[in-house]
Amino acid sequence: MNSPLKNDLYIRALLRQPTERTPIWVMRQAGRYLPEYRQIRTEAGSFMNLCTNPELACEVTMQPLRRFPLDAAILFSDILTIPDAMGLGLYFAEGEGPKFNKVINSIADIKQLKRPDPSVSLAYVMDAVALIHKTLNGDVPLIGFSGSPWTLATYMVEGGSSKTFSKIKNMIYSEPHTAHLLLDKLADAVIDYLNAQIESGAQAVQIFDTWGGVLAPDMFKEFSLHYLEKIVAGLHRSYNGSTIPVVLFCKACNSHLEAVADTGCDGLGVDWTITLSEARARVGDRVALQGNLDPVIMLTNPETIETQVKATLASFGKGHGHVFNLGHGITPEVDPLHMTILTEGVRQHSPAWHID
Amino acid sequence: MNSPLKNDLYIRALLRQPTERTPIWVMRQAGRYLPEYRQIRTEAGSFMNLCTNPELACEVTMQPLRRFPLDAAILFSDILTIPDAMGLGLYFAEGEGPKFNKVINSIADIKQLKRPDPSVSLAYVMDAVALIHKTLNGDVPLIGFSGSPWTLATYMVEGGSSKTFSKIKNMIYSEPHTAHLLLDKLADAVIDYLNAQIESGAQAVQIFDTWGGVLAPDMFKEFSLHYLEKIVAGLHRSYNGSTIPVVLFCKACNSHLEAVADTGCDGLGVDWTITLSEARARVGDRVALQGNLDPVIMLTNPETIETQVKATLASFGKGHGHVFNLGHGITPEVDPLHMTILTEGVRQHSPAWHID
């Protein structure tokens, strides 16, 4: 079923194998900065309509690849599909963040949560993955993804976005067993979900721990990192003869780079608040690094973008194991021309760093 | 004019001198979790009315000291008084963050900004400092404070709070000279402002760099840290025969602890995303450390608070140079009883760590 890859730079970079240049993809590369995305988004009526319709999800996934020389596609979906499949009822209020109809308040609520069968309650995601895989036709790899258990739990207990995370943090400090019950269920669900994505055609997977960085170090290790380890150990690491790289992106977790690298993942997403040279010195050759241009640089001008692309490549330095990306998602106000500058800049300036 | 201090634990801890126990104060200790604060706040009509009326500012500063065994008072004011004094027109829209009537858009706007004379346009702050100093009568030291140049600049250029800081970041990447002109003016203003607070009776000063942590490392050093260094070098370090400690609190700046310690400050505020033991190992004896309980712990229960107080004291370990605090401001939902648990807990459990 797997199409042989015509461009496997992204996969090889994550496996720290030699590449002739640095591959690039961009978080939220299918998104609101593209007029063709905004048009489909308007026609679809809601963000969830886009996610749950495999044809539309495939179309918006492909849009940036038609414009820019990107080295990977990423499934168009949301990080909160699992709690939705568990019955919490995900919706997006216009101008606000994600919300749930049902909130997790007690151990009884957690006990009632069912482990979703991805082929049933998340079939729309698997259909999208299969359709995108087929449409890509091996041009570049398809990245599947999920939210981390901790990050999913924050939304499920808070009922949506939060500034203080007071409910979920209260739970981990006051009722750690309750939190562990929830997180362990979520880890199982994430394993099932990502393995199903791999079986449907995802050629790499990324886990977003968006909110691990709000925790004290020992709490991060107990309530987030532990479950990332469980997931990494439970994923298909090869499928149909292909190695499936696993990337962990833990926002604001610079203090924990070494520990996250020790989970056994292949790649580490890093944001712009640490230099790639420092991150590389700390994690050594254990993992590849993905990142880390400040997304705001995409709002400046072509000259500044090119200068910063060169600085980012130089910060990683000579050798392999770097996947170029922003340190966070591209923002809606970016001029698509600047994506051309970025992607062409990486293509032009990265080969010099790959000469042995 | 300076009253001799009956309790100088906070000052001595910041100067890494021996103390018999760990002093404690709490960021936002004068605040909405206290019913007597909410009453005065309602009567005053607006937050700015509280700040600009020395009698009211003094009253709310004193409120937490009447309830809890705190080792320092902190001036009740706002970090944005300087841009207000520069003519930008600070106001607080209900339920939103701070806003300015006038926003800095260009180098012409910056050139027009006048260096405020604290004894004129910030006289209300100096009157509050003098009145609080007198009212405290030497019971505990009074901490003065200011926002950092970078943090003030973010609000002045964005026009208020921001999630992405796209305008000010665009400025530092595209027009670094313009940003430096603004930041240098602000550094001079902060020096004048804090020195005037010291002359009016502040016995220590703290600078809040709330938004330095959103910058890439080289940008933090160029656009925030450089001006913190300038300020530390420009402050009265002793006044009327008393040493005036300087504390820098840079939120989300764990990567830069060593560099911030090297500014020559006396104390470093740290948040809860790093352990005090790691922070201490990294900065050594150069500076004292202030922090770092996760404020959310104050929402749990007495037992958890006491456990976490003990863990925080143990993390700093034996010896002097620790000022207990939360890692960020106390939140409005906290039960005042929990402040008693916290302050009494530090009093009870800290002496054991100070026995040589």
* Phi, psi of B193, deg, nearest 5: -65, -45
pLDDT at B3: 63
Contact A300 B252 (CB under 8 A): no
pLDDT at B116 (0 to 100): 97
Whether the complex's predicted ipTM is more than 0.85 is answered with yes
Segment 317-336 of chain B within 8 Å of chain A by CB: 331, 333
| Structure-token match 């880890």, residue found | A187
Question: In Å, how far from its chain's centre is CA A66?
Answer: 21
Distance from A290 to chain B by nearest Cα, in Å? 16
Q: For B293, which residue in chain A has the nearest alpha carbon?
A: A216
For residue A1, pLDDT over 60 is answered with: no
Please report the number of interchain residue pairs, chain A to chain B, with beta-carbon separation below 8 angstroms: 82
Q: Does A314 touch chain B (CB under 8 A)?
A: no
Q: Which two tokens stand for residue B241?
A: 């025969």
pLDDT digits (tens, 9 = 90+) for B187-233: 999 999 999 999 999 999 999 999 999 999 999 999 999 999 999 99
**With the C-alpha atoms ordered A304, A307, A310, A316, is the resulting torsion angle positive or negative?**
negative
B37 is catalytic: no
Residue A66 appears among annotated catalytic residues: no
In chain B, how long is the greatest CA-to-CA distance? 59
Contacts of A301 in chain B (CB under 8 A): 174
Q: What is the mean pLDDT of residues A201-214?
A: 97
Q: Among partner residues B169, B213, B308, which is closest to A296 by beta-carbon distance?
A: B169
CB of B174 within 8 Å of a chain A CB? The answer is yes
Q: How many whole angstroms separate alpha carbon B293 and alpha carbon B334?
A: 14
CA atoms of A260 and A268, how far apart (whole Å)? 8
Of B174, B218, B254, the CB nearest to A255: B254
Of A121, A106, A120, A249, give the one whose Cα is nearest residue A182: A106
- Read off the pLDDT of each residue in A322-333 and give the average, rounded to a whole number: 97
Q: What is the pLDDT of residue A31?
A: 96
Q: Supply the mean pLDDT for chain A.
A: 96
Would you place residue A165 in the very low, low, confident or very high pLDDT band (cuts 50, 70, 90)?
Answer: very high
Average pLDDT, chain B: 96
Whether residue B271 lies in the annotated active site:
no
Q: Is B25 left (phi over 0), alpha (psi -120 to 50) or beta?
A: beta
In this prediction, residue B52 carries a pLDDT of: 96
| Angle between helix B54-67 and B336-349 (nearest 10) | 60
Confidence of residue B94 (pLDDT cuts 50, 70, 90): confident
Tokens 């963000």 — which residue? Answer: A47
Name the β-bridge partners of A291.
A324
Rounded CA separation A228/A263 (Å): 7
The whole-angstrom separation of Cα A224 and Cα A211 is 9
CB proximity A296 to B under 8 Å: yes
CA angle in degrees (0–180, nearest 5) for B32-B337-B349: 120
What is the reported pLDDT for A211?
Answer: 97
Mean pLDDT confidence for B152-164: 95
Q: Which residue out of B16, B41, B193, B271 is catalytically annotated?
A: B41
Match 């002109």 to its residue by tokens.
Answer: B181
Average pLDDT value for residue range B333-341: 98
Query: What pLDDT band is residue A320 in, cutting at 50, 70 and 90?
Result: very high
The shortest CB-CB distance from B273 to any of A173, A255, A304 is to: A255
Buried b (16+ CB within 10 A) or exposed e, A123-142: bbbbbbbbbbbebbebbbbb
Residue A95 in this model has a pLDDT that exceeds 80? no
Give bridge partners of residue B143 from the DSSP assignment.
Answer: B74, B204
Confidence check: pLDDT of B1 > 80: no
Average pLDDT over residues A215-223: 97
Residue B280 confidence (pLDDT) above 80: yes
CB atoms closer than 10 angstroms to residue B222: 17
How does residue A59 score in pLDDT terms, banded at 50, 70 and 90?
Answer: very high
Contact B28, B13 (CB under 8 A): no
Q: Are A209 and A148 in contact (CB under 8 A)?
A: yes
Identify which of A164, A252, A300 has the shortest CB distance to residue B173. A300
Give the integer Cα–Cα distance in Å for A67 and A339. Answer: 9
Partners of residue B296 in chain A, C-beta under 8 Å: 164-166, 169-170, 173
Q: Are B173 and B40 in contact (CB under 8 A)?
A: no
In the structure, what pLDDT confidence band is assigned to residue A145 with cuts at 50, 70 and 90?
Answer: very high
Active-site residue, from A37, A41, A71, A271: A41
Q: What's the gap in Å between the CA of A284 and the closest CA on chain B?
A: 18
Which residues on chain B are in Cβ contact (under 8 Å) with A304?
173-174
Give the E-state strand segments of A47-199 in sequence order. 73-74, 90-92, 98-100, 142-147
**pLDDT computed for residue A97 by the predictor:** 87
Measured from the Cβ of residue B141, the count of other Cβ atoms closer than 10 Å reads 29
Q: Residue A325 phi/psi, 5° resolution?
A: -165, 175
Beta-carbon neighbour count of residue A100 at 10 Å? 21
Q: Which has the closest alpha carbon to A148: A101, A194, A89, A108?
A: A194
Across the interface, whether the CB atoms of B164 and A331 are under 8 A apart is answered yes
pLDDT in the model for residue A94? 75
Give the list of residues 6+ apart from residue A315 with CB closer than 8 angstroms, or none: A275, A276, A277
Provide the 8-state DSSP code for B24.
B
Backbone φ/ψ region at B16: left (φ over 0), alpha (ψ -120 to 50), beta: left
Q: How many residues does chain A have?
A: 356
* Mean pLDDT within B247-276: 97
Q: What is the pLDDT of residues A23-51, one digit of tens each?
A: 999 999 999 999 999 999 999 999 999 99
Of B165, B254, B304, the CB nearest to A174: B304
pLDDT at site B10: 98
* Rounded to 5°, angle at Cα A280 from A275 and A284: 165
pLDDT band at B330 (very low <50, low <70, confident <90, very high): very high
Look at residue A17 and tell me whether its pLDDT is greater than 90: yes
Query: pLDDT by residue (tens digit) across B96-107?
Result: 889 999 999 999
| pLDDT (average), residues A82-101 | 91
Structure tokens at B72: 């320092």
Whole-number Å distance between alpha carbons of B267 and B244 = 11
Tell me which residue in B174, B218, B331 faces A300 most closely, judged by beta carbons. B174
For residue B299, list chain A residues with Cβ-Cβ distance below 8 A: 166, 169-170
**CB atoms A255 and B272 under 8 Å:** no
Using a CB-CB cut-off of 8 Å, the residues of chain A touching B164 are: 295-296, 331
* Residue ranges of E strands in chain B: 73-74, 90-92, 98-100, 142-147, 204-209, 238-239, 242-243, 246-250, 267-269, 288-293, 322-326
As given in the structure block, the two tokens for residue A136 are: 């890509």
Q: Supply the DSSP string of B225-256, one letter for each residue.
A: IHHHHHHHHHS-SEETTEE--EEEEETT-GGG
Mean pLDDT of all residues in A188-211: 98
- Does residue B274 sit at the A interface (CB-CB below 8 Å)? yes
Burial of B284 (0-12, 13-18, 19+ CB in 10 A): exposed
On chain A, the residues whose CB falls within 8 A of the CB of B252 are 252, 273
Question: Looking at the predicted structure, is the pLDDT value of residue B2 above 80?
Answer: no
Q: Which of A10, A155, A193, A227 is catalytic?
A: A155
Q: How confident is the model at residue A3 (pLDDT cuts 50, 70, 90)?
A: low
CA distance A352 to A21: 8
- Cα separations in angstroms, A86 against A151, A182, A199, B353: 15, 12, 21, 48
CA distance A26 to A20: 20
Closest CA to B345 of B8, B24, B66: B24
